[in-house]
Amino acid sequence: MFNKVSNSFYRQNDVVELSKQLLGKVLVTNINGQKTAGVITETEAYRGPEDKACHAHLNRFTKRTKVMFAKGGVAYVYLCYGIHHLFNVVTGDEGLPHAILIRAVEPLEGVEVMLERRNMTKIQPRLTSGPGCLSKALAIDKSHYGLNLESDVIWIEDRNIVVNEIIATTRIGIDYAEEDALLPWRFYIKGNRWVSKQ
């Protein structure tokens, strides 16, 4: 069988490095009796207190950001624009509010279910490219806030997929973050079609 990524992997403290390592791993959900999976093709690093784009900038601790301070290996899901549930992986030691936003996956298993959840008929990048899109396709929502990623509901597997080249560029939708908006902390697999923005 495939290797489920263990919590120790997520507890490394270099969130930027981890964001790259997540590329090529497989995000799997088993929700409402339906299994769906996709290869992670695009991620963004949010680096705790020193990152102006991070919800936990300056250790801002609220009901929403609370889970980012937990030990790495749990889900941080929040509602964006009142519509979209965005899925993040919390990383680092307890008290260090690092997180990785998963922005796109390439469908692997359960494609029919994904199409149905997305109200689509044709397979195209829009199915799972973009953080709101993939959450909907994989049925991730706020009820998974704080869920441990060693659970059998949402987890990540290492299937030894080789990633040749990684592009590092600026993150999306964080103009408010001033100079930190320029950090090259968005990563995607070069040449992969299942990416929200090339």
Residues in contact with DNA by the rule CB under 7 A: 44, 46, 53-55, 60, 62-65, 76, 78-84, 86, 88, 99, 101, 118, 126, 130-134, 142, 171-174, 176, 196
Q: Nearer Cβ to DNA, position 2 or 94?
A: 94
Q: What is the number of helices (H) and of strands (E) in the chain?
A: 4, 9
- 86 Rama sector, left if φ>0, alpha if ψ -120 to 50, beta otherwise: beta
Residue 150's contacts (CB-CB under 8 Å, 6 or more residues apart) are 4, 6, 7, 73
Least Å distance, CB 101 to DNA, is 3
Least Å distance, CB 188 to DNA, is 13
Residue 41's contacts (CB-CB under 8 Å, 6 or more residues apart) are 23, 104, 105, 106, 129, 188, 189, 192, 194, 195
Least Å distance, CB 34 to DNA, is 19
Q: Nearer Cβ to DNA, position 2 or 112?
A: 112
Is residue 171 within 8 A of residue 165, CB to CB? The reply is: no
Q: Nearer Cβ to DNA, position 80 or 159?
A: 80
Pair of tokens at residue 78: 């929040």
Phi, psi angle pair for 20, to nearest 5°: -70, -40
Least Å distance, CB 105 to DNA, is 11
Q: Nearer Cβ to DNA, position 33 or 79?
A: 79
Q: Nearer Cβ to DNA, position 33 or 82?
A: 82
Least Å distance, CB 190 to DNA, is 19
